[in-house]
Chains A and B, each alone.
Chain A
Amino acid sequence: MTLNIPSFQLSSIGPALTLTVTAILILLLDALSPKGRKGYFPQLSLAGLALATFQAIGLWGRTGTDFARMIYLDNFTFFFYLIFILGTALTVLLSRQYLEDYGKNLGEYYALLLFATVGMMLMAAGAHLIMIFLGLEIMSIAVYVLAGLFREDARSNEAALKYLILGSFASAFLLFGMAMLYGAAGGTLYLDDLAGRLAGASALQPLTLLSIALLVVGFGFKVASVPFHMWTPDVYEGAPTSVTAFMAVGVKAAAFAAFARVFFLAFLAMKVDWNMLLWVLAVATMTVGNVTAIAQTNIKRMLAYSSIAHAGYLLVALVAANQLGAVSLLYYLLAYTLMNLGAFGVVILVGRKRDSYLNIYDYSGLGFQHPALAAAMALFMFALAGIPPTMGFVGKFYIFSAAVKAGYIWLAILGVLNSLVSVFYYLRITVLMYMKPAEADLGPVLFTPAQTAVVAVTAFGVLWFGIFPGFLYDLAVNATKIFPGL
């Protein structure tokens, strides 16, 4: 028996490789460095991320597959690489001071962040369902640990355990769905082949439909869509804020990358079958997320429910299942990364030492005590609510355009009405900041350079790309050319 190793190019997975090496290096250095000399891990992570960025940009424009057709090389993948790198880099910048306050500025934190990012990259690049599953597990396991980083804190423990148990269930569903698909498609899990095999076979095989349903459960869990969202608020609230930001942005984007790729490539022929299912999920997700967010008084919980609602808007883009839908998905995920990380940046800054100020009423009077910080928060809130001239508006505009174009006018109407509901709770933050007197003197906010930079950069990005969305739009159009059937 000869072992046949197919040829491959390491540069195809360059960014993922770089991050893996960086993460391992951090773990090694963590073990070797003397106590008190471990402050350089964030810088090291950022260096790795910067290198990965260059590699991802260098890959831009390449096409094809590698590693025995396990990995896609296309602009869709690279676009997501950039989203993940951006999300992770901003998270790293937010983390340091926050973790130091807790005495948790540990090497493994950064290593886990990077490992999770590697998992995300593999999810976006996966050309084989098992590859996607592996990516998902690499990401998930790292994030389970991150959620429980504050192991002395009961809520952080609860978050980690809850996420682990429910997440394992979801992974099992996903795997089960893949297994059935393997049978239904006659023994292949390559996305390229699946489309042909499934379309060739009598389309309405019950096994295929069942596997689609199971995949929806698995992905639905990771993107936090209703009714698989139960874990979200508790995990988001309990996890360290920087991890929450990372989860809300990175995990969701990665799950949507795989979700979109699988459904737009492999299942396109069965569009009619899953469209209605996702339609219902989208409406339920938007509505439950937005309506429940109104009742929240903890800012992290509010943002958790708002992130559920945003998953709903993103599902609308999937339902539309047209070129514009794919473009809007990419654009919106990028927009969401910026505005949500910005908002969490403000939450961390306002929360200060050991998250002392997480109630929304702690924002009372912020507008005139810290005008710049409050203005940034107001901008993020208006952006999340989808009010121009911000990226949030442009993103929603694209998503609802896609829905209207595909003929889902009712879905668009329900979507905009949901935006209206969301306006209410986002506005409440601005009401508190500008229209209510401070309940107590907030005292000084410690503006560390890194955290301030995150808020400033995201605020600028949200505004700039809201007014001039053309560049990113063209980039996203370029990235979604890989779905010929749309």
Chain B
Amino acid sequence: MQLPILSILIFFPVAGIGLLLFLNKENQRGLKIATMGIALVEFCFSLPLWFSFNGQTAAMQFVERRDWLPSYGISYYVGVDGFSLLLILLTTFLTPICVLATWEDIQHRVKEFMICLLALMSGMIGVFVSLDLFLFYVFWEVMLIPMYLLIGVWGNPARRVYAAIKFFLFTMFGSLLMLVAILVLYFHYGATTGTYTFDLLKMYGLNIPFHMQFWMFLAFGLAFAIKVPMFPFHTWLPDAHTEAPTVGSVILAAVLLKMGTYGFLRFNMPLFPQAAHYFVPLFSILALIGIIYGALVSMMQKDLKRLIAFSSVSHLGFVMLGLFTFTMPGVQGGIIQMINHGLSTGALFLIVGMIYERRHTRMIADFGGLSTPMPVYAAIFLIVSLSSIGLPGLNGFVGEFLILLGTFKTNKLYAVLGATGVIFAACYMLWMFQRVMFGEVTNDKNRDLKDLSWREIVIFAPLILFIVWIGVYPSTFLDKTKATTENFLAMMDKAKDTKVSLSQVFKGEAP
């Protein structure tokens, strides 16, 4: 019998919480070490996923299935394919890094913080592996609570509560409408096939009338678009990112936002393929607005963290643009860009967090000339910034290039507009870098800043390793996703040429 790796991945952090409950809350160091151990063990558990994953097939792997509520067609059904593999690994890879980053940052209520972190980890993995709509929804919601607490309890005192509630309500709004859509889908599937089930893969094959696809696509799409976040649903993001503690921002940017884009790939598009094709212009244009608007707003930010937060809107716009091309390079670029954004933006938030620990400010105007007292910091910051901009040889380039390639195949105008986003990215990142790192040290408080400690270098080393690896040899990762993407595209192609009009939708006629 095969080991139930996915269940272990989901529930090991929960077991870890049980362990932490027995530790003395005064023993902060012990708590951190214990969490670090749990996170590392979890990472080791996730390695077999990578090594025994078969990239040649689009089928779900490591599948586990148990009845949960059989009379309702609900089962505990998990599995991994090319879409989720990298995201799971990203999650397990980043969590130990996050724990390491809390070493100095989190000094009060450490125990509760670590419990939230582990609960969040379990929830995130659950979201990525669920193949049952009910199970997915449960994880999707459960994961909100620890994140809400992370922002609200350990965030910036001034506005953390506002940001936490805004985050919670925005996400909840989308997901509740998605719940109704899930129910409609469930009963529609039951009515057409006679079996009632929440099994996602079975629903893929269902031929849903377009007027239903239209509304359900919008309901699911709203939930995911808020999470991504796409323009104009992005307003929770700058607040949540800025007010969250460093580690909260890292996880939020690196993993939570990916749930939105992953949701589009896993649920929205394959479930409602005709509607997905129908909505390509709308979503592409929203993605383009996100790219350009996010970049322009970034440029104007005075606060480093807010700048990075808005850059996320721009980067995620790229991902969405790529996914909605329904071409091989576009979708693969989108997937790899999700990982890239996780690595680069995660690293950027860590970088800002470290300077914040030293100076207790994040205002660009308070800095200047930091490269003199902190040369190692400057080098790492530069590499990560360049990766975020998309310099060839680093990871960002691969993702953005593939996305633009895919977009160019389908719509040249979108590609041209999207490409401006890369230029803007160079503008805001380099300008920010110049103001923070170069020139004379103008503020005396910055003169004697300590450079990075060993612990901090260890945090960045693995991140930079993968930033370069993906930049130089992306095939390692693309190969794993190839078969799944091909299968996905074949599924989408079947629904390509449906001619529909809005009047049919409102009259409820099936084409």
Interface residues of A (CB under 8 A from B): 368, 371, 382, 387-389, 393, 397, 400-401, 404-405, 409, 412-413, 416-417, 419-420, 423-424, 427, 431, 434-436, 469-470, 473-474, 477
Contacts and interface: CB of A to CB of B under 8 A. Distances in A.
Contacts of B109: 368
Given A388-B142, A409-B184, A424-B169, 20 more contacts: A382-B145, A388-B137, A388-B138, A389-B138, A393-B138, A397-B134, A400-B180, A401-B183, A404-B180, A404-B187, A412-B183, A416-B180, A423-B169, A434-B149, A435-B152, A435-B153, A435-B164, A470-B69, A470-B71, A473-B71
Contact of B179 (A389, A416, A436): A416
B71 A474 contact: yes
Contacts of A423: 168-169, 172
Nearest to B176: A416
A354 B68 CA distance: 45
Interface of A is mostly: helix
Contacts of A436: 161
Contacts of B145: 382, 387
A420 B173 contact: yes
A419 B176 contact: yes
A387 B141 contact: yes
A81 to B, nearest CB: 23
B173 A400 contact: no
Interface in B125-146: 134, 137-138, 141-142, 144-145
Nearest to A407: B187
B71 A477 contact: yes
Query: A-B pairs with the 8 shortest C-beta distances?
Result: A416-B176, A404-B183, A388-B138, A435-B152, A412-B180, A388-B141, A470-B69, A435-B161
A424 B72 contact: no
- Number of chain B interface residues as a range: 20 to 34
Contacts, number: 78
B158 to A, nearest CB: 12
B206 interface: no
Given A420-B173, A435-B153, A427 B180 contact: no
B138 A435 contact: no
A348 B135 CA distance: 35
A417 B219 CA distance: 13
A470 B184 contact: no
A124 B70 CA distance: 29
Interface of B: 68-72, 109, 112, 134, 137-138, 141-142, 144-145, 148-149, 152-153, 160-161, 164-165, 168-169, 172-173, 176-177, 179-180, 183-184, 186-187
Nearest to A413: B180
A431 B169 contact: no
A397 B138 CA distance: 11
Nearest to A419: B176
Contacts of B165: 424, 427, 431
A409 B186 CA distance: 13
Contacts of A413: 177, 180
Contacts of B134: 397
A424 B169 CA distance: 7
A344 B179 CA distance: 29
16 contacts: A368-B109, A368-B112, A388-B141, A388-B142, A397-B134, A400-B179, A416-B177, A416-B179, A420-B176, A423-B168, A424-B169, A431-B164, A434-B149, A434-B152, A470-B69, A474-B71
Interface of B is mostly: helix
A393 B141 contact: yes
B183 to A, nearest CB: 4
Contacts of A393: 138, 141
B172 A409 contact: no
A434 B153 CA distance: 6
Contacts of A397: 134, 179
A401 B186 CA distance: 9
Contacts of B70: 470
A209 to B, nearest CB: 31
B192 to A, nearest CB: 14
Contacts of B184: 404, 409
Contacts of A409: 180, 184
A405 B112 CA distance: 41
A473 B68 CA distance: 12
Contacts of A424: 165, 169
B169 A420 contact: yes
B442 to A, nearest CB: 37
Nearest to A388: B138
Contacts of A412: 180, 183
Contact of B187 (A382, A405, A427, A435): A405
A423 B176 CA distance: 11
B142 A389 contact: yes
A420 B172 contact: yes
A392 B5 CA distance: 30
A469 B141 contact: no
A365 to B, nearest CB: 12
A314 B187 CA distance: 21
B138 A473 contact: no
Contacts of B149: 434
A21 to B, nearest CB: 39
Contacts of B68: 470
A402 to B, nearest CB: 9
B142 A427 contact: no
Nearest to B144: A387
Nearest to A469: B69
A332 to B, nearest CB: 15
Contacts of B148: 427
Nearest to B70: A470
A258 to B, nearest CB: 27
A413 B176 CA distance: 8
> Which of B138, B148, B160 has the most chain A CB within a 10 Å cutoff?
B138
Contacts of A389: 138, 142
Nearest to A412: B180
A399 to B, nearest CB: 11
A379 to B, nearest CB: 10
A24 B144 CA distance: 51
A102 to B, nearest CB: 36
A388 B139 CA distance: 8
B25 to A, nearest CB: 9
B180 A473 contact: no
A67 B72 CA distance: 38
A371 B21 CA distance: 11
A253 B297 CA distance: 54
Nearest to B179: A416
A473 B176 contact: no
A417 B153 contact: no
A424 B176 CA distance: 14
